[in-house]
Structure 1
Amino acid sequence: MGDTRGRRFSLMIALASSGLVNAVASISPNWIVLMILQFIASLLAAGQYTLSMTLLGESTPLGRRNLVLLLVSSIFLLAQGLMAVVAIPVISLTFSFELSGIGIFWNSWRTTLLIYSIPSFLCVLGLLFMEESPKFVFSQGDDENATRILKKDTQSEQRKACAGVAVEEQIQKSAIKGFLQDEMAAAKDTNKSTLQSLKDQSVPLFRKPLLKYTLIVGCLCVLQQ
């Protein structure tokens, strides 16, 4: 979806849907329903890291790109620790009251699940004020809009770095010119359907010579969890 519908749009869908399902899981009547809903939420959230890194990498000026990606990677690594910091004081609470309409007792672990859903919705609100990846926009044939986004993304950087030199001229010489040269040949070929894109990216992972690496990485992920 990120390659065919846009990085920003797909990330918003992943965040909103996973947050919603996770919130619904807080009213699960039993552990079986909870397990199913949490599995669905995990599937919906699986692409968030890749989509966010792609969107940031394609939208950040080159001079700050490495720093931004490093910070975001660090936040993802710290996320589990932050979740524990939030969970410890909430889980220790002993309140419990009945929601007779749906036949459950609302308690601390349900509250924790609901709290975990809040950041997803906050991120969706933040993405409403963010532009789409200029690379994706350019791949859709909208050269004018891609150029506008690039100018907007790099303008503040150029103002700081180019005292006494026209911002527009510097942008043309750096961000836009380099972007167009790098992407002109390949970007126009990315207009594929969602199913075709999914097939092209997924099927090779389950064929030789990549199959053994897919199995190794999958096992490592399971063991890590």
Structure 2
Amino acid sequence: MHTAKAGAGQGEQPARADQHEHSPEIVAPRTSGDRPLRTVGSSRRRCESCGQLMADPPTGLIERWHWDEAASDVVAAARGRGDSIALIMIDLDRFKDVNDSYGHLAGDAVLRGVADVIRDCTREGDLACRYGGSAGDEFLVLLPASELDAALAVAERIRAGITGMSVTAKVTRELSATIEGQTASIGVATYSLGDLVELDLEDLMLDADVSLRAAKRHGRDRICVANMDVSGNRASGSQAGRRLTTWSRFRRLRSV
């Protein structure tokens, strides 16, 4: 739920969003998984090969198509080293209401606020982008060398940071509004060494996306996870068999 208070000038006090009655549900073990907080690396340079901006306006995060290339390299490197890797997929809940109620410039201000939260909650070397093109309100964060507990800790910090945002933006030339109460649904997918033998970035994105949809179905403002640890299920001998195991787990998520 979004709340806002419009004012003709500075000094207006922001309206407070209603407090959540319960903490968001994490469909996974709850562990601290603490890690140092540094900024996500990004660049405003243009790509030498295609001429596109390397950073996404208005967020300043890595431009999506360059993220795809860099993230594929990170997954390949993790496979070579035998590292675990995690992907966080974030979707702003009812973000269309912000654009419809306060205008698209206010929506851009909220997107910038979310990007700042992501930068504050991640390490140097983590890869973040806005997903879905110029109109997208989804974000991807790839976490190299990350186990499930560490990825969940980062996802929870991001979720809490978005909920705690207070964004002031112009809604007309004379009036501004302070927007609060934005929430996000988050899907998390992790791969271990056994998974990385056959699976790639596209598989990781698909599993994170299914987790995100589960978070939406469970009521938004929460985190769901796909833990692709099926290394003990080698009898199937195929990627299709592993995917069937994964979908079975997601079907069980619906009853949580």
**Normalised-by-shorter TM-score class:** under 0.3
TM-score normalised according to structure 2 size: 0.21
**Higher helix content, 1 or 2:** 1
- Which of structures 1 and 2 has the bigger CA Rg? 1
